[in-house]
Structure 1
Amino acid sequence: MMKHTYDMGLIGNCAFLGLIGTDTAVRWLCWPRFDSSFVFGALLDEEKGGEYSIRPATEGGFQSRQYYLTNTNVLATEITTAEGSYRVTDFAPRFSQYERYYKPLMFIRKVEPLDGTPRIKVACRPVADYGRQQLSRRRSSNHIAFLGMEEEIRLTTNIPLTYVLDEEAFVLNETKYLVLTYGAPLEAPLESTVEQFLRSTVEYWRKWVKSTSISNFHQEAVIRSALALKVHQYEDTGAIIAASTTSLPEAPGSTRNWDYRYCWMRDTFYTLTAFNNIGHFEELERYFHYIANISSSIQGKYQPLYGISGASQLVEEELPLAGYLGNQPVRIGNDAYTHVQNDVYGQVLVALLPLYVDSRFVNPEQRNPEKLVYEALRLIEATMDQPDAGLWEFRNLAQRHCYTYLFHWAGSHAARKMAQALGNADMEALANRLNEAATERIEQCFSEEREAYTNAIGSPHLDASTIQLIMMCYLDPASERAARHLVALEKELKTPEGLFYRYRHADDFGTPETTFLICSFWFVEALACVGRVQEAIDEFEQLLTYSNHLGLLSEDVDAKTGSQWGNFPQAYSHVGLVNAAYRIAKKLDRPNFV
């Protein structure tokens, strides 16, 4: 079987995201929000997904080279044919203006001839309602309006409109510009505005990268991961989504095709850690406020995930689309929001801890700072012995998971620090009691025979989530128990290629076929923690080979072929890379620039 990779680049400005193929076609772009219908969705259906491409008009093949402008989210795709070559520069404008960030729903494409007399053909056919609605077109003097959505989509260009409307080939003998907008159109000079926006956007990203605090350990990979992670934050609310796509299968034919355009509470701690590790305060604070807003409006329990607006109803629906490479079903929404996943209470407490103990933050709940903490602690207390779906969201299996108890332990530990900061002795006593109860239950997961912690009380199975026992210092990383636990996990879940399965036992959909990339990065972190630093470096460098041509990571990897699967790019795989690189760099204790 050939190696499958996602041959696409990511662009975005924290208001929308897009994926551009190496043939210049926009494979995926949702407007007006991350979780809206696609306006270009050929990724899931070539016929119903519309098209936006700037392809060579010549018969026969062409060569493509795709790359980012250094330290930016500005993407360039160079196409070479027998007739000549040209470059398409794609970006979503983002820069500071009037003391705010300018991040419009505007997708800009600059097309330049490089050599010879290339002939190109431009197609622009957006769709609505996941391909169920075709948009009507209205031609004006210098733009084409696409009508039928809540607001107008407009293409403003200096390419003759006839060529675009008829999708006719023409010779590219000068630089052309295409500005696609949703809602507010571009009402300014085309060429000079695009060039100014391009310069300002490049400058913004390079300044953002300069403000990151990272070591020189695989700096390029960490920078690309940080840039990818940044554009997965929906800045309007602060939410960070798991991935920009839906229904890319975890393995071909597996039916494990999920919508990941939502914010998972279970990943909060790791994501905040990543931003903290690269020294980015602004993103941290926005995400804190998103979590705090959800925390102030919950009704009796937290859900495993929420919409980017904090919406709680994420009803799953199957769409009549062909699916990625024919993989069905295509789903929008995610029924995991109905699951019982009790680690979320501890996740929230660990996530909110800096609001109470870090003086740089202004607490959003100043009037009643104890309320959120007490609420989460009481939910931990109420669910202490309640089986749940666990981190991996088993749909038809409830257990008393070790990972859930680890976050009960970590959450109550964080609450104790908050209580001390607030001078609240009652809260501290409750946190201590819950911490002891969680410890007792974690220890019930220990198997003397296997010298390791199993995935749940009374279960014989091992699970990659228990790597966190070491990383979160429940187990002393220098202890014999930590070393043996890691060896047992390695023996059962690690592939010869250094990849890690979440688990190897059957679930609702059979036995997992592909490895979960963030678990592989957790393993790297754990190796560094227990002092196996050179092994951690070797494993980390092997994991870098599973990125695509731009350094972007998927959710899952097929160990045998090295193929990328699952939703893409996966924010949490990039979180894993950032955190693993940070952990190794700390162990190496190298100066930033040697």
Structure 2
Amino acid sequence: MEIYGRLKKIEDVYSENYIKIENHGVIFNNKTAALVGMDGTIDWACLPNFDSEPLFDSILDADRGGYFSIRPNRSGLMVNQYYEELTNILVTEFYDENGIIVRITDFLPASEYATINMPEIHRFIEPFEDNIKITIKIKPSFNYGKIKPSVEHNKNGYIFRSLNKTVGVSSNFNFRQDGDIIYGTFQMKRTGYNWIVVSTGITHINNILEYKSIERLNETRKYWKAWSNKLNYEGIYGKYVLRSALTLKGLFYDPTGMMVAAPTTSLPESIGGDRNWDYRFTWIRDTAYVIEALSLIGLNGEATKFIYDIMYKINKQKAIKTIYEINDESILKEKVLDYSGYRNSRPVRIGNKASGQFQLDQYGSIINAIYHFSLADGVITTQLWDFVLGILEKLEVIWKYPDSSIWEFRTEPKHYVYSKLISWSAFHRAILMGKKLGYSAPYETWRKVEKEIKEDILKNGYNNEMECFVQSYGSKNIDASLLRLPLMDFLNIKDKRVINTIRCIESNLMTPNYLFLRYNKDDGLKSMDNPFLLLSFWYVEDLILMGRTEHAKKVLETLLSKSNHLYLFSEEINPETGSLLGNFPQAITHLGVIRAIARLNSALKD
């Protein structure tokens, strides 16, 4: 059977008592997400929203965090995990030497009426033989392990309560209780109604049948399949494009149209280190990149919605913030938790201090997204064009300011070349777009600013001694964000300054397997950095523009092999072990996947 080639020994799922980041699947409902390990454990879930207090969080503290585990009582287990076709419904299977013995189906109920999706996790346990023993343990988290809830039991299940939170567990299983944990080992039959529903924000729990799990499962299948069928992509590596698109879709918070950068917080970029951040918020830069990706694969309807949601948010607040809350209840203020962290990686943060930074490239990123949207036949209304005019009016002044740029340095702001480049592209592409559409605009002013920024970059951002563009004005630091230089039409791809910059980045920042460190400067953090996956996908695009299509294909195939078993990527990767690092799954990495594949697919057709 082909399935056996994908099986993993259950003991290989872990590292230091934690499920490896790459050994997770993710379920979504466009309000939140949950991480499900290959061993059947949910170790991260925030309900009802992405940035709510966690319901399960043992991924950040194996001893004190909450979890929901399901596992057959049998030694020598092998495991497999996959998504139902065209959906974000996750299936985890357990095998022994004779074949499959248990299947778990996990989903968050989703429908086209996303605003009423219930804060529930539905889990179905399907034995493949009678009387198999399966152990279930459920420990909800309250205030990051600080509060011990009361536990009530009735005929429908269990309710965990604190002053501010209630969690219900409904099933036909008669669990035992030990403090704030319910557990049991049960002999299950193939014909049993083996559903468990966990819900939050409840006043009481219903009989398990009243949750209509089978009906909800079918609705959720219908929802994801209908969305997937909108995809307009026929070409190479289609399974990666589909999974990346479904992941990006899942990361959007539909009630407000905002997108989280990732559904997790404080998964480390370096094991045992301090590069641990909360990504459960909206970065305009990331959302703008995703709009570009959606436009590339024919999802203009989705791209339109997201563009207008961003526009309304910015217009309402009369400014572009670095980070946006996904709703009015979100808390951006950064706080450190008393948790041990994933594999002892401290600190564990909630909130994000970068929200107070000025990041110049956010402005140009929005214009670039609208430009790519227009190239994909997206409709640029007069309302949207007025929005463009407003952003560029602001950018005419602020492009001269130092900032913290794409890497969100927590040191003094500087004049970063990447930020200036994106600012230049905003004016350059707005002129192209506006002229093509016949819209009026202060084009002479824009051309003047465009020229001024370009001259400024060439004068201050290029180091003649090193023969390459550098990270910031006057520095000698190399920055791999400038792999985006050829993608912005700033200089001809054959210009020696472009070629030399790419070579300089290759020489100084590329590790084995075409993985790139972000920069070679001290950024004030104690721990080492690891390769940032998005950069490698930009590199693939550069190679294609340079005419090195076959090499680009080789590099892309190497990169795609770094995904996990579900074609999911995190933010960073250990170049030696291939272990995924950082928050997971990461939106901008999946954007890079789609862009690189789409560009290569187009190049191979030419």
Pair in the same fold by TM > 0.5:
yes
**Matching residue within 150, 156, 171 for 1:142:** 156
Q: Does 1:193 align with 2:212?
A: yes
- State the match for 1:269 in structure 2: 288
Mapping of 1:516-535 within 5 angstroms? 516-535=532-551
- State the match for 2:388 in structure 1: 373
- State the match for 1:506 in structure 2: 522
Counterpart-to-counterpart distance in 2, 1:12 and 1:115:
30
Q: Does 1:474 align with 2:474?
A: no
Deviates more, 1:170-179 or 1:310-319: 310-319
**Shift of residue 235, structure 1, vs aligned partner:** 1.0
Mapping of 1:13-52 within 5 angstroms? 13-52=29-68
**Shift of residue 71, structure 1, vs aligned partner:** 2.4
The amino acid of 1:283's aligned partner reads E
Are the aligned partners of 2:28 and 2:88 in contact in 1 as well (CA < 8 Å)?
A: yes
**Matching residue within 228, 231, 245 for 2:247:** 228
Are the aligned partners of 1:513 and 1:558 in contact in 2 as well (CA < 8 Å)?
A: no
Q: Does 1:398 align with 2:413?
A: yes
Q: Does 1:242 align with 2:261?
A: yes
Are the aligned partners of 2:86 and 2:225 in contact in 1 as well (CA < 8 Å)?
A: yes
**Shift of residue 319, structure 1, vs aligned partner:** 0.4
The amino acid of 1:225's aligned partner reads S
Counterpart-to-counterpart distance in 1, 2:438 and 2:201:
47
- State the match for 2:362 in structure 1: 344
Counterpart-to-counterpart distance in 1, 2:445 and 2:601:
37
**Matching residue within 49, 73, 93 for 1:78:** 93
**Shift of residue 417, structure 1, vs aligned partner:** 5.0
- State the match for 2:400 in structure 1: 385
Counterpart-to-counterpart distance in 2, 1:131 and 1:364:
51
Deviates more, 1:474-483 or 1:66-75: 474-483
**Shift of residue 280, structure 1, vs aligned partner:** 1.5
After superposition, give the CA deviation of every residue in 1:237-278 in whole Å (9 maximum; x if it has no partner). Answer: 111111111111111132111111111122233211111112
Q: Structure 1 pair 358/534, CA: closer, same or farther in 2 (3 Å)?
A: closer
Counterpart-to-counterpart distance in 1, 2:433 and 2:568:
37
- State the match for 1:315 in structure 2: 333
How many residues of Structure 1 are paired with residues of Structure 2 in the alignment? 581
**Shift of residue 561, structure 1, vs aligned partner:** 2.1
2:93 aligns to what SS in structure 1?
strand
- State the match for 1:132 in structure 2: 146
- State the match for 2:5 in structure 1: none
- State the match for 1:329 in structure 2: 347
Are the aligned partners of 2:111 and 2:220 in contact in 1 as well (CA < 8 Å)?
A: yes
Counterpart-to-counterpart distance in 2, 1:414 and 1:193:
51
1:297 aligns to what SS in structure 2?
helix
Counterpart-to-counterpart distance in 2, 1:278 and 1:358:
9
TM-align CA RMSD: 2.9
Are the aligned partners of 1:50 and 1:125 in contact in 2 as well (CA < 8 Å)?
A: yes
**Shift of residue 362, structure 1, vs aligned partner:** 7.8
**Matching residue within 451, 455, 461 for 1:436:** 451
The amino acid of 1:87's aligned partner reads R
**Matching residue within 150, 167, 175 for 1:153:** 167
Deviates more, 1:126-135 or 1:164-173: 164-173
- State the match for 1:204 in structure 2: 223
Q: Structure 1 pair 153/166, CA: closer, same or farther in 2 (3 Å)?
A: closer
Are the aligned partners of 1:94 and 1:101 in contact in 2 as well (CA < 8 Å)?
A: no
Are the aligned partners of 2:300 and 2:373 in contact in 1 as well (CA < 8 Å)?
A: no
After superposition, give the CA deviation of every residue in 1:130-181 in whole Å (9 maximum; x if it has no partner). Answer: 2222332222322322333656432222223558975221101133011222
Q: Structure 1 pair 387/64, CA: closer, same or farther in 2 (3 Å)?
A: same
Q: Structure 1 pair 312/354, CA: closer, same or farther in 2 (3 Å)?
A: farther
**Matching residue within 410, 416, 421 for 2:431:** 416
Q: Does 1:489 align with 2:508?
A: no
2:128 aligns to what SS in structure 1?
strand
**Shift of residue 102, structure 1, vs aligned partner:** 5.9
1:139 aligns to what SS in structure 2?
strand
Are the aligned partners of 2:60 and 2:339 in contact in 1 as well (CA < 8 Å)?
A: yes
Mapping of 1:498-577 within 5 angstroms? 498-509=514-525, 512-577=528-593
Counterpart-to-counterpart distance in 1, 2:297 and 2:207:
37
Q: Structure 1 pair 453/486, CA: closer, same or farther in 2 (3 Å)?
A: same
Counterpart-to-counterpart distance in 2, 1:191 and 1:313:
34
Query: Which structure 2 segments of 5+ residues have no match?
Result: 1-13
After superposition, give the CA deviation of every residue in 1:203-240 in whole Å (9 maximum; x if it has no partner). Answer: 33233222212232111122111111111111111111
Deviates more, 1:509-518 or 1:565-574: 509-518
Counterpart-to-counterpart distance in 1, 2:280 and 2:381:
28
Q: Structure 1 pair 398/42, CA: closer, same or farther in 2 (3 Å)?
A: same
Are the aligned partners of 1:257 and 1:329 in contact in 2 as well (CA < 8 Å)?
A: yes
Q: Structure 1 pair 514/355, CA: closer, same or farther in 2 (3 Å)?
A: closer
The amino acid of 1:413's aligned partner reads H
Counterpart-to-counterpart distance in 2, 1:356 and 1:171:
59
**Shift of residue 46, structure 1, vs aligned partner:** 2.0
Q: Structure 1 pair 166/320, CA: closer, same or farther in 2 (3 Å)?
A: closer
Deviates more, 1:576-585 or 1:118-127: 118-127
Counterpart-to-counterpart distance in 2, 1:561 and 1:354:
36
The amino acid of 1:106's aligned partner reads E
Deviates more, 1:69-78 or 1:185-194: 185-194
Counterpart-to-counterpart distance in 1, 2:351 and 2:34:
19
The amino acid of 2:343's aligned partner reads L
Counterpart-to-counterpart distance in 2, 1:512 and 1:410:
32
Counterpart-to-counterpart distance in 2, 1:311 and 1:392:
27
Counterpart-to-counterpart distance in 2, 1:278 and 1:548:
23
Q: Structure 1 pair 352/276, CA: closer, same or farther in 2 (3 Å)?
A: closer
Counterpart-to-counterpart distance in 1, 2:527 and 2:224:
42
**Shift of residue 381, structure 1, vs aligned partner:** 2.5
1:85 aligns to what SS in structure 2?
strand
Are the aligned partners of 1:5 and 1:548 in contact in 2 as well (CA < 8 Å)?
A: no
The amino acid of 1:465's aligned partner reads S
Mapping of 1:52-63 within 5 angstroms? 52-58=68-74, 60-63=75-78
Deviates more, 1:576-585 or 1:203-212: 203-212
